[in-house]
Amino acid sequence: MPREGQGDSVATDTAGRRRSKRWTVFRIIKWIVIVAILLLLAPYVLVLVYKPHAVKPVSTLMIGEMLTGRAYERQWVAFDDIAPVLVQSVMMSEDGQYCAHDGVDWSELNSVIDDALDGEATRGASTIPMQTVKNLFLTNSRTVIRKGLEIPLAMWSNQIWGKKRTMEIYLNVAEWAPGVFGVEAAAQTYFGVAAKDLTRRQAALLAVTLPNPIERNPANPTRNLGKLASTIQARARQSGAYIKCLYD
């Protein structure tokens, strides 16, 4: 039989272990929450860091290439050293309302949501600011969570960077081929010219390559890709009213 007081001691020890275990679990949860908050806030801080033109951000894909030991090409080029025909073509292909929205094309996004609710096939509604923050801070996974993170980040970056800086970053981090990032590397890889010397046709072909840079080759376009480039080339010629925020 346990001696007098021994039972109370065992009960006290058991209760103490339970409290200690609960406290350990609480601390683990607390640190998980703190880390999650820091990870969520980090991109907003980095947007501020990336505002100066002297800063040359890298994308998550570039970081992935570095971590896996694979080489990639990227030569940063200032916005003013990129052929305007390339900027016009990318805008007409990727985000025709670029100068008009606040980082998110709400009308287009609402249309996509309505189509999804109706069970219809959906199309992309990502603006250039949305694609830029995705390239810099997020993954390529097509999930509701990623989109939920992407939208406020796009609005924040649009406010902090402005249109010209956003476009400069986008054109320097976009992937144009496996391991080829930025318009300067793309122009030289595919056409052997600098980004400032691209022709209208070359610019249009590069622009229509962006949605699928792994399978599309602007230097050797298929018939369909060539037709699409012709459409974008025609739109780019008439884009004067749409690009005033970049060439005022």
Task: Examine the domain organization and report whether 36 and 69 are in the same domain.
Answer: no
Task: Examine the domain organization and report whether 109 and 5 are in the same domain.
Answer: no
Would you call 128 helix, strand, or coil by DSSP? helix
Q: Which of 238, 214, 223 is nearest to 89 (CA)?
A: 238
Residue 193 forms part of a structural domain: yes
Task: Examine the domain organization and report whether 72 and 192 are in the same domain.
Answer: yes
Q: Which of 213, 164, 163 is nearest to 186 (CA)?
A: 213
Number of domains in the chain: 2
Task: Examine the domain organization and report whether 104 and 187 are in the same domain.
Answer: yes
Residue 81 forms part of a structural domain: yes
Give the percent of the chain with pLDDT over 70.
86
Task: Examine the domain organization and report whether 21 and 91 are in the same domain.
Answer: no
CB neighbours (10 Å) of residue 236?
25
Q: Which of 71-80, 114-123, 188-197 has the lowest mean pLDDT?
A: 114-123
Dihedral sign, CA of 75, 79, 82, 86?
A: positive
- The gap between the terminal CA atoms of the chain, to the nearest Å, is 93
Confidence band for 25, pLDDT divided at 50, 70 and 90:
confident
Task: Examine the domain organization and report whether 180 and 84 are in the same domain.
Answer: yes
Task: Examine the domain organization and report whether 10 and 131 are in the same domain.
Answer: no
CA dihedral 183, 197, 229, 61 (to 10 degrees): -10
Residue 73 pairs in a beta bridge with 180
**Packed helices 144-173 and 84-94: angle between N→C axes, nearest 10 degrees:** 170
Dihedral sign, CA of 89, 94, 194, 47?
A: positive
Task: Examine the domain organization and report whether 29 and 126 are in the same domain.
Answer: no
Output the average pLDDT for the chain: 88
Tokens read off for 132: 């830029």
* Over residues 47-71, mean pLDDT: 94
Q: In 182-210, which positions are buried (b, 16+ CB within 10 angstroms) versus exposed (e)?
A: bbbbbbeebbeebbbebebbbbbbbbbbb
Q: Which amino acid is at 61?
A: L
Task: Examine the domain organization and report whether 16 and 44 are in the same domain.
Answer: yes
Tell me the pLDDT tens digit for each residue of 197-246: 999 999 999 999 999 999 999 999 999 999 999 999 999 999 888 888 99
Cα–Cα distances (Å) from 145 to 45, 142, 179, 214, in that order, read 20, 9, 27, 25
Per-residue pLDDT at 15 exceeds 80: no
- The answer to whether the CB of 140 falls within 8 A of the CB of 124 is no
Tell me the pLDDT tens digit for each residue of 125-171: 789 999 999 999 998 887 888 888 999 999 999 999 999 999 999 99
Report the Cα 11 to chain-centroid distance in Å: 57
Distance separating alpha carbons of residues 134 and 182, to the nearest angstrom: 15
pTM above 0.75? yes
Task: Examine the domain organization and report whether 42 and 107 are in the same domain.
Answer: no
Per-residue pLDDT at 121 exceeds 50: no
Residue 199 forms part of a structural domain: yes
Task: Examine the domain organization and report whether 42 and 78 are in the same domain.
Answer: no
Residue 247 forms part of a structural domain: no
Residue 187 forms part of a structural domain: yes
Which residue has better confidence, 5 or 161? 161
CATH classification of the domain holding 132: 1.10.3810.10
Residue 24 forms part of a structural domain: yes
Residue 248 forms part of a structural domain: no
Q: Which of 15-24, 42-51, 105-114 has the lowest mean pLDDT?
A: 15-24
Task: Examine the domain organization and report whether 156 and 205 are in the same domain.
Answer: yes
The pLDDT value given to residue 53: 93
Distance separating alpha carbons of residues 131 and 150, to the nearest angstrom: 8
Q: Which of 47, 104, 77, 41 is nearest to 173 (CA)?
A: 77
CB neighbours (10 Å) of residue 35?
10
Its domain, for residue 5, covers 1-49
Residue 127 forms part of a structural domain: yes
* Over residues 55-66, mean pLDDT: 94
Confidence band for 97, pLDDT divided at 50, 70 and 90:
very high
* Over residues 72-96, mean pLDDT: 95
